[in-house]
A and B are shown apart, each in its own frame.
Chain A
């Protein structure tokens, strides 16, 4: 098989060497790309509707399935957040929101948004769609396993949603599911609700592991010729590192879920000490609630980066393309992603400064946490330095990128407050924390998701989204979300604790009633404005401007497919060959302001490329 590829290679390179024979002489040398080491991939081509669109093995379709399912859960999460905000801003306005329901909404909102929406969307959605296209593969390396991965996720979502309909309702233990309360009476949904939550999470982890192994192995093994690791778009680097984190972190969630199920169902005592409840000693003893917190956050902190790293990667590419300039400090960006990923396994207990763990841990975890701020800050510098002396197109995509920078820097800085152990003491478990993590891992990644959808919609559907509606959508979302979460930090300064159904007449809150009301109103507006987006998608699917090939004049491989939208197998007869990194914008001497990764050096001899 490798012989065929050698022929392919020569046929690709023979052409330019014939046309520019009078230049430097060694043209075929400058276009040399190492031959492929493995044979081309055979794919199963679906023929029926079911094999093409439902039980489909094409990573692109699976990516869309993941995206649609994740967005569905996201809409549920959004509605739950409205109900919570109504209670907080205007208590007793909606009579059916009791304390029990409120805590169930809080829990389901948190778990849905973090795991079933953001994680599934970034890795399952963008990962599936973009990894094969951006690395020049025909598909994921295990397409069948990839299909099963989606359907496991689908079942996990069904089980999660089923918990709304069981007696006692879904669990109301907070998304962190801390025992002992999560599985004891006195917490809403401590019967069937918590069991379904645990089952759903276990299914999610199983499904994710199938997908995750696919992403990692595809990136390591199935890249096309010339696509070295240091020529991969940062999007792929971000998704790759996040997937490695997830494969290492989710097992911690998995075991804690299994152990808690055993505590709940069989009466073991992994997390359950001796407990006195309603005057009786329960049949538990010797377990440690803090152990659960260690396991949970050993998963939970990398989880933050599982969401953040793909966002970092994607936004780097969007900023570069839309400011027509190479990403500044590419190698630094790659190493920063890897360093953040590695460090993220050594910071988990900064979520536990007031948990009662040995207080000496505080020194260690505060130090590691603040060290992580350094590579993160470098990434921020490099994003804004990419704008410097660029040629910035103020597209909707770019607006979302700028919105990301503002919200991410804001949320990153408040992270330094909370990571610095002594500063965390007064702020932990207050609204400062709620504001911080929504800003940094809610709004900032969402800005990237929206930007990415506006950017890649033309590739997926062949039509552009409406720019005017897009801009309205951006300003409502960005200004609205900022006016929710920026003032919310100040509730935390007052000392307002989180997870309070109602403050009654506490002296702390009386001054903050107006603030809470305005936050609620902003939340309703932001939520409603998402319908502009949904309308835009529906409208543009049918009536959007045809995008043609490569509407943003980007360099990365996904825009160089023979068909738009790309067909099954992505590349037609021949796999693409890569000659450069994806950031050759405005290279001095080049005729165009971009040079796609597939353009051999012999075609742009006059371009003075510094890095390939």
Chain B
């Protein structure tokens, strides 16, 4: 069989695979539909180029396969053709880049009404801190962290007193309100990633990084750590629940503030910081 047929089958197979694939994006649950759109645009332009180049190649393989004495074109260069190809490629690349950069600009500029949420990562689990009634997170420092102060909040910063501490690995968000995720890590790199929200960013020890999104679909979502963080990386998962306003308020009321936390500690014997199950992996 002529090799050209097999190459053709590969290209046709690729297209069919793409059309009929059951493996595709999870349903989006945030405002970042524009990311999906840029990907689809890239698919059309890029896929078109891939198919065109391969089909041209396959045509040549069929049409110009070896024959003794075949007349071969002798044309070392063709300036006009090369200029046309350069210009067309440049335009195609610009058409992909421009919309991408516009969306990127949205991604790095957080809307002013976003709620700040601190996500604090460690090997191998997540904790969260929400601003209290003052709407501000207190400043923090990793060296302050101890059993009485699991987030290392600076004790002389009054903004920190009413911060809401969530030491379970379940975080609730409310629909249709942007959140700015502020990422901290106490040890190594991590990355707070929920596939349905599309967005992600590394948590880096020594830095506070951020990204934002607006959840717009109620439901339970799985958090995956997306930056390799040691042997327990694959088990570093958690749950995000997107609630409507009412359920969210209900959940929020049950959470304790930093002041509450200190008060309970003073009353009882100091309890150990709850660690996620995954820490057992170390043993």
Contacts and interface: CB of A to CB of B under 8 A. Distances in A.
Interface string A200-219: 00000000000000000000
B202 A506 contact: no
B251 interface: no
B268 interface: no
B13 to A, nearest CB: 9
Contacts of A289: 188-189, 204-206
Contacts of B23: 487, 490-491, 493-494, 511-512, 515
B54 A406 contact: yes
Contact of A405 (B57, B86, B187): B57
B15 to A, nearest CB: 11
17 contacts: A275-B187, A324-B72, A325-B72, A363-B105, A366-B97, A367-B101, A378-B82, A380-B53, A389-B72, A405-B53, A413-B46, A417-B46, A422-B38, A490-B24, A494-B23, A504-B235, A511-B22
Nearest to A589: B74
Interface string B46-66: 110110011011001100111
Interface in B167-194: 183, 186-189, 191, 193
Contacts of A482: 10
Contacts of A490: 21, 23-24
A55 B38 CA distance: 56
Contacts of A281: 142-143
Interface stretch (A21-29, A142-150, A425-433, A522-530): A425-433
Given A332-B82, A380-B53, A493-B24, A276 B186 contact: yes
Interface stretch (B88-96, B128-136, B158-166, B253-261): B88-96
Interface in A461-490: 475, 479, 482, 486-487, 490
A72 interface: no
B237 interface: yes
Interface string A84-102: 0000000000000001100
A332 B77 contact: yes
Interface string B222-249: 1011111111111101000000000000
Nearest to A607: B74
Interface of B: 3, 6-7, 10-11, 14, 17, 21-26, 32, 34-35, 38-39, 42, 46-47, 49-50, 53-54, 56-57, 60-61, 64-67, 70, 72-78, 81-82, 85-86, 89-90, 93, 96-97, 100-101, 103-105, 107-108, 122-123, 142-143, 145, 183, 186-189, 191, 193, 195-196, 198-207, 209, 222, 224-235, 237, 281-282
Given A370-B96, A370-B97, A422-B103, 15 more contacts: A99-B231, A181-B228, A276-B145, A324-B66, A356-B183, A366-B100, A367-B101, A378-B82, A413-B50, A422-B107, A475-B6, A500-B233, A502-B234, A504-B235, A583-B76
> Top 3 nearest A-B pairs by Cβ distance?
A273-B206, A495-B195, A389-B73
A384 B10 contact: no
Given A355-B204, A429-B200, A326 B97 contact: no
Given A273-B206, A370-B96, A508 B74 contact: no
A95 B206 CA distance: 39
Given A366-B97, A402-B57, A508-B222, A494 B74 contact: no
A119 B235 CA distance: 34
Which interface residue of B57, B191, B229, B232 has the most chain A CB atoms within 10 A?
Answer: B57
A425 B46 CA distance: 18
Interface in A13-57: none
Interface residues of A, number: 111
A479 B105 CA distance: 41
Interface string A175-205: 0001011001011100000000000000000
A125 to B, nearest CB: 28
B7 A406 contact: yes
A424 B105 CA distance: 14
A377 interface: yes
A392 B195 contact: no
A289 B209 CA distance: 13
A276 B127 CA distance: 15
B77 A422 contact: no
B209 A508 contact: no
A507 B27 CA distance: 12
A391 B66 contact: yes
A399 B26 CA distance: 38
Given A186-B282, A281-B143, A288 B72 contact: no
A277 B209 contact: no
Contacts of B32: 426
Nearest to A372: B93
B14 to A, nearest CB: 6
A588 interface: yes
A331 B77 contact: yes
Contacts of B11: 406
Contacts of B193: 429, 495, 497
Contacts of B86: 374, 378
A591 interface: no
Contact of A425 (B107, B143, B222): B107
Contacts of A426: 32, 35, 39, 195, 198-200
A499 interface: yes
Contacts of B100: 366, 420-423
Given A276-B186, A420-B97, A494-B25, A392 B74 contact: no
A392 B206 contact: no
A536 interface: no
Interface string A253-269: 00000000000000000
B93 A586 contact: no
B187 A389 contact: no
A421 B189 contact: no
A387 B49 contact: no
Nearest to B61: A392
A111 interface: no
B188 A186 contact: yes
A408 to B, nearest CB: 10
With most chain A CB atoms within 10 A of its CB, the pick from B23, B50, B187, B209 is: B23
A475 B235 CA distance: 39
B187 A381 contact: no
A367 B103 CA distance: 14
A507 to B, nearest CB: 7
A559 interface: no
B72 A186 contact: no
Interface in A346-360: 354-356, 359-360
